[in-house]
Amino acid sequence: MTTLRSRSADDERPAVGRLVLGIWMLAALLAPVARAANCNAIKVWSFNVRFDDGWSSCFSDCENQWFKGGAATARRDVARAFLTAYSPDIFGLQEVKNPAPFATTRASQLRDISGWFPKHGYYALDRGDGEHCAIFFRIDRFTPFDTGTFWMSCTPDVPSKHPRETGNFRITSWVRLIDNYTGTDFYVFNSHWSLDSAARDYSAALIRERISKIAAGAPVILLGDFNCAESDSPFDILLGRTTYPPSSDCSVQPGAVPIPSLPLVNSYREAIPTVSEFEKTAHGFSGESRGDPIDHILHTGGDFAPSRAVIRRDTYPGGCGEAGCYPSDHYAIEVEFRLLLQSAEVKFGPSSADCEAGTPLYPFRSITNALDVLKENGTLTLQNTSSSVGLTINPSRGPITITSAKGPSILGRR
């Protein structure tokens, strides 16, 4: 079953240049500028929600079932408190079930979660056993333009398994979104990989090839439970640092995609460069944090700037037999991005309650904010400039062109 539904409802970066520039502008430029209304930021999650097996009898995770009859508090209630407390702008879920097999008297996980988010749309495709890699997005902020799913197998366009896969089908679902604030379109991919190492290597190469073809150079965010650490070979293949080794498992091998064609980077690691021994994401309801993450968020370099990242380890009261219950056997990984723009506009004086996105419709109120989101070779346009002040500018990337009534100025490296 395919579902596409839209419903109503800082890290410090080293400067690449330091210039003092005399520019004709309003004296209001020197006043403090609030940044709380910067609508360019996007909070993104990847979260393996742990499937609901749907049986009336318990076979695993007996204290952590999604649904419990009577007045018992279930993991469903814990998950609802967790997800709605943070309400990400975009989130990808793995293992989310719909419908629950053999269960006709209760809601499925997908219907539960979609009901909790009336201001989000979603896309989800059944991989063949009721599970989905669902992608949710705020419909007041994003408009879906296209969707799709492919299988992590030798025949990606039909429901199938990789020959080394001993479990269920594995898929990658994707959505093309238009950002209503900036007019930028980008792709979100959500994937769940095999436990088999050879199948994971193939999945990494296939995703890299498919993203290159589907997105065709457009900005990309990739979410997923990859069942591997960032130091493992599949991650190197995914980032293009290693070529996928030929295998006899499939008659057709994924083509190599060079890094310049798809510059994927680890979003969490870009926001938090220092590796910690406490980054585990798959904890098996134990609450353990020591270890490597296997849940990841990536993005195309030069298109997004991660401003912060965190692994969410919240617990809530529930019926799991512990003082604090976990919403899943995985922690959620969160990254907040700024979309990088090819051009931005600054208009001094609008209300601090107005949205800041850098477009003529939602211009920035300060040059500092605008420089945070400009791509290399980007253009910054200043509106309403009338008086002279001295200004120190520290661009985070360059070269950047600033245009005003006095003509263009180039900032940053050339």
Question: What are residue 265's DSSP bridge partners?
Answer: 299
Specify if 180 maps to a domain. yes
Domain co-membership, 369 together with 298: no
Tokens of 273: 């460069």
**Each residue's pLDDT tens digit, 382-398:** 876 544 444 555 566 66
**Which pLDDT belongs to residue 63?**
81
Domain co-membership, 237 together with 298: yes
Q: What residue has token string 């499939």?
A: 250
User: How many other C-beta atoms are found inside a 10 Å radius of the C-beta of residue 296?
Assistant: 24
Specify if 6 maps to a domain. no
Domain co-membership, 324 together with 350: no
Tokens of 279: 């980054």
Which of 131, 84, 154, 179 is CA-nearest to residue 373? 179
Specify if 196 maps to a domain. yes
Domain co-membership, 349 together with 336: no
Burial class from Cβ neighbours inside 10 Å (0-12, 13-18, 19+) for residue 387 reads exposed
Where among 321, 340, 359 does a domain terminate?
Answer: 340
The CA distance from 77 to 294, in Å, is 25
Domain co-membership, 326 together with 383: no
Domain co-membership, 336 together with 351: no
Which of 46, 47, 51 is CA-nearest to residue 61? 51
Specify if 334 maps to a domain. yes
**Which pLDDT belongs to residue 350?**
65
Where among 340, 367, 402 does a domain terminate?
Answer: 340
Domain co-membership, 329 together with 376: no
Half-sphere exposure of 24 (CA within 13 A, CB side): 11
**Which pLDDT belongs to residue 293?**
98
The CA distance from 123 to 317, in Å, is 30
CB neighbour list of residue 275: distance below 8 Å, 6 or more residues apart? 269
Say what the pTM is: 0.85
Specify if 329 maps to a domain. yes
Specify if 5 maps to a domain. no
**Which pLDDT belongs to residue 381?**
87
Specify if 324 maps to a domain. yes
Give the DSSP H or E segment for 407: strand 407-411
What ranges in 274-378 are assigned the alpha helix state H?
Answer: 367-371
Contact in structure between 300 and 211 (CB atoms under 8 Å) = no
Domain enclosing residue 386, as ranges: 13-38+342-411
Domain co-membership, 164 together with 23: no
CB neighbour list of residue 92: distance below 8 Å, 6 or more residues apart? 45, 46, 47, 133, 134, 135, 136, 188, 190, 223, 224
Round to the nearest angstrom and report the end-to-end CA distance of the chain: 51
Give SS3 for 162.
coil
Domain co-membership, 245 together with 334: yes
Domain co-membership, 109 together with 242: yes
Specify if 3 maps to a domain. no
Which of 142, 161, 156, 97 is CA-nearest to residue 124? 97
Looking at residue 67, which CATH number applies to its domain?
Answer: 3.60.10.10
Please confirm whether the linkage preceding 99 is cis (ω < 30° from 0): yes
Domain co-membership, 330 together with 348: no
**Which pLDDT belongs to residue 314?**
96
Number of domains in the chain: 2
Domain co-membership, 301 together with 401: no
Where among 340, 357, 375 does a domain terminate?
Answer: 340
- Which parts of the chain sit beneath pLDDT 50? 1-3, 5-36, 386-390, 413-414
E-assigned strand segments in 193-317 = 220-225, 264-266, 295-300, 304-312
